[in-house]
Structure formats: C-alpha cells, structure tokens
Amino acid sequence: MEQEQSLQLQIDTLKGELVHAHENLMEQFYTDPLTSLSNLYKLRHDLEQLSDTTLIIVNIDNFKLLNDFYGFIVGDFILESFASTLVNLFHPAHVYRIAGDEFAILEPKKMTFYELKAYLAQCSLSLSHVRYAYAQTEIFVDCTLAASAHLDDKSVFSNVNMALKYAKERGLKFWIYERSMRLSEAYESNLKYATKIRKAIVDFAGIVPYFQPIVDNKNGQIVKFEALARLIDEEGIIHAPDAFIPVAKTIKVYDKITTTIIDKSFAMFENSSYDFSINLSFEDIINEQMYRFIIGKLQHSTLGGRVTFELLESERVNDFDKVIRFFNEIKRHGAKVAIDDFGSGFSNFSYIITLNPDFLKIDGSLIKNLDTDKHAQIVVETIVDFSKKLGIKTVAEFVHSSTILSAVKQLGIDYSQGYFIDKPSPFIDT
C-alpha cells in the first residue's frame, strides 16, 4: 500500500513538473525576451480569443537610423524604454512587441471612428519627441500609430498594418483604416503585378522595349529612338512602366528588367543605323553588377558610339562620385549621357555642370502647355540658354501637337519627341 502511495506521489509530482514545464515553455513562447512584453504569437492568440477590443499598432520612426548611429546596445535600451513608456501610457490595455521596432496595444473595448481618432490624436501628442537619457546622452524618439475602426472586421491585423504603411509613406502621425480607402484592393493589385512581373522575367519575352522616335527640329528627320520598357502579360495586355516598375523595385527584380531592355535594345539596333537611348535609375548606376554588365556590353559591341544612357533628373542622387565615375567610364567607350525629365525635380544647374551630360531632356510638364503658359516659357528658355552656353543639346518631351512643336522650335530646342511625332512601338523603321 505504501509502495502504491509512493508511486502515485511520484506520478503526481511528475505531472506537476510537466505542467509547470509546459507553462514555462508557453510563457517563453509568448514572451519577447528583450522587453518581457507579450509577442506577436500572443497577440494573434488574443485576437482570436477576445472580442470587443481595439487594436493599435505603434512603430518607432527611423529606428534603424538610431540603431546604426548609437549602436545596438543603445538600440536595445531605446526599445526597452519605449516599451515601458507604452505600458504606462496605455494601462490597463495589453502591450505587445510584435517586431523589431513595432509594438501593438489591445484596448479592452471597441471604439467608433471618432472615438478612435480623438484617442490616437491624444496618444500621438504623448508619444511625440519622447526623451530618453543614456550615459549623459539625450535621445529623442517619435513614432507613427495606426488602428482600424471596423467593429466586425476579422482582418483587423492586416488592415491596421496597411494603415500603418499608409501613414509612414505619407509622413502622418497616425491613420485609421477604413474600407473606403480600398487599401486591400491596392495590395491585391500589387500582388498580381508581382506575379505578372516574375512570370514575364522568367519567360523573358514578357519584358520588351518599345521605341519612340526623336526628331531633329531643324529638318524633322528621325535621328534616334528611346527604348521604353513594357510588360506584356499572359493575356497579351500591355502595361506601361508606371504600373509595374515600382512593384519590380519592391520585389527586388528591377535590375532584371533593366538588363532585359538593354539586351533587347542592343539586339534591335545592330541591324539599324539609328542612335538609341536607354533609361537608367540611380540604383542601376550604383549597382556594381549592373555597372559591370553595361561596361561589358559596351566593350563587346560596336554600338557604343550610338547609345545614350538617360538618368532621371527626378531621381535622388546620393553619391555624385559614383554617377560621375559611371558617366566617365561609359563615355570612354563612346556612349553618351542624358539627364531625363529635367525640370520635374530639383532642377539644380550646378548638378548639370558636375555631371556634364551630352543631352538635357526637358520634362513634359513644362512642354505640354508651352504655347499658353508664360512661366513655362520662361523656365524652358532659361534651360535652353544655359544648355547652349555649355554645349549641351536639348530634347523636348511630350510634344503632343503642331502648336507645341512650333513653340519648341521657336525656343531653339534641338530635338523633339512625343505623340504628335509618333507613339512608342515595338518596331523601328529601318
């Protein structure tokens, strides 16, 4: 009997230890080790189990910059300190750390849109320029908040994340998701485009250059073509670059599009006497693999003296030395350089002097109303005069009528392109 009781006691003790061990494992599974807050797994569990709650997500602004500048030890200090700030501010709500610099608050009540708007405005003020001190150094932290006001929304987590992304992209302090924003449709569209782009790249034939002629304004003759990227999907629908290039950059396949356009354009003009131009972004130029690919293409081709590479003026150039290096190297192989869409960005004339391009392409926003807009006329006239003094040729984009073409010629612009001259086409007249 005593032996049975002893055995039962051992079994009970073992069961208790197993239960305790299980509880410890679950606690570790649901807990963020740095801040000791509940983590993303716990939030997802609570969202499934609880009703009548309001989810708020808080993201620290520019945390990577803070972490890189001060170091990861201070970065961890900021995260721990910010976690304590949120716990104190939102008590008795439950606070979670759900990603590196992202936190969530689960309020134990449903809020209407206007209640939530007032609440987030108040919270945003409390979390504005929060001061922390580390080793006699003052660190200031700001954040962005997002939430959803839909009381019956089962997709609350994804919707609040969409609202956060919307707020971050526009520099807003907070945003509340509403169905009328149609963000989910935009996300679905991006996913579809991502699939189309990947298929087009794998298939290779799906990404193609269309060629738009550029004419000499003195004699009206076609002198060159600009290669413009197009995506042709499985249904044969043709998509313009504004629709698929941003998605391609997001999913990290943009460089494949650039190399495809370069390859196909070079192949097209091997059997033609025309010059041609290809667009490059700043990220193309600073991409070492792309740099080697282009230099290799120029070295092993006879087309170096007939190709122009166009850099968007509206692109943010963070490293002029790399751009100058690229320009100088391709010029060594006979290629020319153009600044595209000049007038659409910061239009810094010292930038032009530094880069010393062969062509300035004047942005269509200045050209399209050149016959009626006096301010546009003054700006374009200034660009043309500046270019002539430096020996830079000018190209007018978006020439859509005979009236505009006449105005362009009158101002002394060297070349023109636009729908009045001809639309982009997959073929060229050889």
Q: Tell me the residue length of the chain.
A: 430
Q: Is 70 exceeded by the pLDDT of residue 16?
A: no
pLDDT at 397: 95
Show Cβ contacts of residue 72 under 8 Å, excluding neighbours closer than 6 positions: none
Whether 187-416 and 16-181 are alike in CATH topology: the answer is no
44 has pLDDT over 80: yes
Tell whether the model's pLDDT for residue 346 goes beyond 70. no
Is the pTM of the predicted complex or chain greater than 0.85? Answer: no
Q: Indicate whether 2 pLDDT > 70.
A: no
Tens digits of residue pLDDT in 274-321: 999 999 988 898 889 999 999 999 999 999 999 999 987 655 666 778
Can you give the pLDDT at residue 303? 95
pLDDT in tens, 169-179: 888 999 998 76
Whole-number average pLDDT of the chain: 87
State residue 50's pLDDT score. 82
pLDDT tier at 190, thresholds 50, 70, 90: low
CATH topology classification for 16-181: Alpha-Beta Plaits (3.30.70)
For residue range 206-256, list pLDDT tens digits in order. 889 999 999 999 999 999 999 999 988 877 888 888 888 887 887 788 898
What is the rounded CA–CA span in Å between residue 376 and residue 295? Answer: 38
Contact 418, 399 (CB under 8 A): yes
Which two three-digit tokens encode residue 23?
């509880």
Q: From 3.40.640.10, 3.30.700.30, 3.20.20.450, 2.40.10.120, which CATH number describes the 187-416 domain?
A: 3.20.20.450
- Output the CA torsion 113→114→119→122 (10° steps): 130
- The Cα 107–Cα 344 span in angstroms is 46
The domain spans of the chain are: 16-181, 187-416
- Residues of the chain with pLDDT > 90: what percent? 58
